[in-house]
């Protein structure tokens, strides 16, 4: 039931060009539409397809995943474009991202500023995922693409995404990515949440800055293995970043920052989405102009009041010849103040 090169999908809308990769649950293909534009088509992998007892359940979960991910709109989240069924097989069409994933980065150790830029982008993306009551559960360099010729990271592969309150008794230890998975992903019925992805994102930053995989949470928790501080591996890492990584990789979920935004703040990264555009220049100018003229009017009002109080005290050398003023009510003519 797997798709084949040259196979046409959805009435010829897509044509399979090549297989891109296989994960624990899905297979991804590069396809072209009628205009030659690239798209990624994702289906269930052979392991799932060859298990008739589980096939229908996975098909249903696959369709639900497409629906939920379509709501997660963000420039740093891969866009879900379409969901359809082909010969009884559920398919998801997603945007094709030209570039490479961070697992295949050119440098084993990235400069701290560059690594933090990617982490902030993915952190903002995860905040959108979490706001939709989903937890990714598989954040790692392999699932973060960097667009070609751009410093833009994109979160991909939501094959493990689940609701916070999803029945997780089906979780298997083999599903957890060693080094990136927190302890709760190794335990049945353990509570998962945004803090689960915090651990994985912190571990991802660990790898980007050290070039080494951190000790797995399973070994740390159940075999008392220790985690080497990232700064011991790369002394160039700032103290603040070192502390934030360790805070995000605490074994107990309650000891970690509970949201990605809280963790980003530990890193000194802004809690405002970097993709939030400033107001148009014209609006800013109008607002500033309004404040300026309001201030001018206020100052003019104050000057007028001072003039009205001070000037009657100063007597002119001679009253105007054309309009003498009674002595009992001396007045001084002044130029009107513009308001």
Q: pLDDT tens for residues 66-90?
A: 777 788 889 999 998 988 988 888 8
Report whether 80 contacts 94 (CB < 8 A). Answer: yes
Least confident of 18-22, 28-32, 49-53: 49-53
Residue 333: band (very low, low, confident or very high) from pLDDT cuts 50, 70, 90: very low
pLDDT at 159: 59
State percent of the chain over pLDDT 70.
72
The per-residue pLDDT for range 200-244, each reduced to its tens digit, is 999 999 999 999 999 999 999 999 999 999 999 999 999 999 999
Residue 158: band (very low, low, confident or very high) from pLDDT cuts 50, 70, 90: confident
pLDDT at 101: 94
329 pLDDT more than 60:
no
pLDDT at 1: 60
The three-state DSSP-derived secondary structure of the chain is CCCCCCCEECCCCEEEEEEEEECCCEEEEEEEECCCCEEEEEEECHHHHCCHHHHHHHHHHHHHHHHHHCCCCCCCECCEEEEEEECCEEEEEEECCCEEEHHHCCCCCCCHHHHHHHHHHHHHHHHHHHHCCEECCCCCHHHEEEECCCCCEEECCCCCCEECCCCCCCCCHHHCCCCCCCHHHHCCCCCCCHHHHHHHHHHHHHHHHHCCCCCCHHHHHHCCCCCCCHHHHCCCCCHHHHHHHHHHCCCCHHHCCCCHHHHHHHCCCCCCCCCCCCCCHHHHHHHHHHHHHHHHHHHHHHHHHHHHHHHHHCCCCCCCCCCCCCCCCCCCCCCCCCC
93 pLDDT more than 90:
yes
The Cα–Cα gap between 203 and 205 comes to 5
Domains of the chain: 1-96 (3.30.200.20), 99-277 (1.10.510.10)
CA torsion through residues 194, 200, 203, 207, sign: negative
Mean per-residue pLDDT, 299-321:
47
Task: For residue 250, give the nearest of 190, 215, 199, 208 by alpha carbon.
Answer: 199
Tokens 């070994």 locate to 219
The pair of structure tokens assigned to 268 is 């000194």
The edge-to-edge listing of strands for the beta sheet with 26-33 is 8-9, 14-22, 26-33, 38-44, 89-95, 80-86
pLDDT at 162: 57
171 or 269, which is more confident: 269
The per-residue pLDDT for range 257-308, each reduced to its tens digit, is 999 999 999 999 974 444 433 333 333 333 333 334 444 444 455 455 445 5
Residue 332: band (very low, low, confident or very high) from pLDDT cuts 50, 70, 90: very low
Least confident of 104-108, 294-298, 299-303, 325-329: 325-329
173 pLDDT more than 50:
no
The per-residue pLDDT for range 119-145, each reduced to its tens digit, is 999 999 999 999 988 888 889 999 999
111 pLDDT more than 90:
yes
pTM, two decimal places? 0.74
318 or 62, which is more confident: 62
Highest mean pLDDT of the ranges 27-31, 296-300, 326-330: 27-31
């Amino acid at each position: 039931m797997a798709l084949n090169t040259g196979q046409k999908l959805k009435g010829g809308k897509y044509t399979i060009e090549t297989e891109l990769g296989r994960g624990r649950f899905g297979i991804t293909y590069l396809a072209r539409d009628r205009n030659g534009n690239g798209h990624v088509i994702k289906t269930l992998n052979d392991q799932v397809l060859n298990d008739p007892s589980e096939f229908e359940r996975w098909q249903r979960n696959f369709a639900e995943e497409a629906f939920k991910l379509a709501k997660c709109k963000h420039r740093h989240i891969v866009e879900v474009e379409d969901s359809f069924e082909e010969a009884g097989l559920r398919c998801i069409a997603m945007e094709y991202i030209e570039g490479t994933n961070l697992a295949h980065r050119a440098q084993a150790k990235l400069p701290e500023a560059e690594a933090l830029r990617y982490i902030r982008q993915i952190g903002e993306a995860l905040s959108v995922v979490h706001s939709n009551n989903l937890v990714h559960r598989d954040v790692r360099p392999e699932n973060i693409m960097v667009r070609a010729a751009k410093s833009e990271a994109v979160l991909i592969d939501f094959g493990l995404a689940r609701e916070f309150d999803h029945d997780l008794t089906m979780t298997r230890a083999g599903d957890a990515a060693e080094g990136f998975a927190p302890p709760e992903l190794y335990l049945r019925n353990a509570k998962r949440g945004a803090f689960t992805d915090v651990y994985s994102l912190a571990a991802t930053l660990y790898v980007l800055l050290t070039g080494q995989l951190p000790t797995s949470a399973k070994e740390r928790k159940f075999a008392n293995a220790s985690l080497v501080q990232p700064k011991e591996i790369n002394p160039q890492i700032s103290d603040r970043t070192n502390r934030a990584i360790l805070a995000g990789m605490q074994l107990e979920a309650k000891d970690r920052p509970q949201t990605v935004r809280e963790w980003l703040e530990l890193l000194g990264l802004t809690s405002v989405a970097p993709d939030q555009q400033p107001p148009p220049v014209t609006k800013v100018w109008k607002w500033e102009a309004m404040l300026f003229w309001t201030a001018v009017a206020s100052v003019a009002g104050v000057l007028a009041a001072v003039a009205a109080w001070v000037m009657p005290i100063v007597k002119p050398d001679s009253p105007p010849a054309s309009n003498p003023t009674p002595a009992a009510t001396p007045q001084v003519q002044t130029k009107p103040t513009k308001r």
